[in-house]
Chain A
């Protein structure tokens, strides 16, 4: 059974710092990996989707990488801003169907 882990559970950084969020998964036979952002009391917003054949995806100040063989993905946020404060979740989609397995998320706070 796929398990997805995100460490750390919470992170606080000063504004302007570059930061990396980590996601690891136990079964490397994935179809894709997605990173989501969740604001308090809200639904999830898809940030980036990396297909299993890809190594990375970029959107603005965000860059997500994928290393299937080691079961890891990272989300890099450049020049962090207070508006980046949210919980970031990663999820992997396995080859067996539509199921997404989610990590527990990293709660990010960017201080002004």
Chain B
């Protein structure tokens, strides 16, 4: 079955530590995305990548970093510079970046708690 795998499902970290969230897809999709979801709010785009070795900042990139060394993988690092990192993080992919009419496919998310 093709899909997007996010791991771990729950992650706990102490303040000041960097943490990396994993996202792997076997859909052969070109584009991948990271979103953050806070209670009662819509999703906000952190970073996206339309092709290997290229990525762009979204609306709330400060305190986050990404890499796209392989088509299948788009890990997100939450650094200590992120002021309010506790949230639900969702990874998504789409078949193509251009044209834009390909639906997004989402993973099941990672809930990060920083204390």
Contacts and interface: CB of A to CB of B under 8 A. Distances in A.
A9 B108 CA distance: 22
A41 B10 CA distance: 10
Provide the main secondary structure of the chain A interface: strand
Contacts of B40: 9, 104
A31 B109 contact: no
Contact of B100 (A31, A102, A103, A105): A31
B89 to A, nearest CB: 10
> How many B residues are at the interface, by size bracket?
20 to 34
A98 B108 CA distance: 21
> How many A residues are at the interface, by size bracket?
20 to 34
Provide the main secondary structure of the chain B interface: strand
B45 A43 contact: no
Contacts of B64: none
A102 B37 CA distance: 10
Interface of A: 4, 9, 31-32, 34, 36, 41-46, 49, 51, 89, 91, 93, 97-105
Interface of B: 4, 6, 31, 33, 35, 40-45, 48, 50, 58-59, 90, 92, 94, 97, 100-101, 103-109, 111
The 7 closest A-B pairs by CB, nearest first: A102-B42, A43-B106, A46-B103, A102-B43, A44-B106, A43-B108, A104-B42
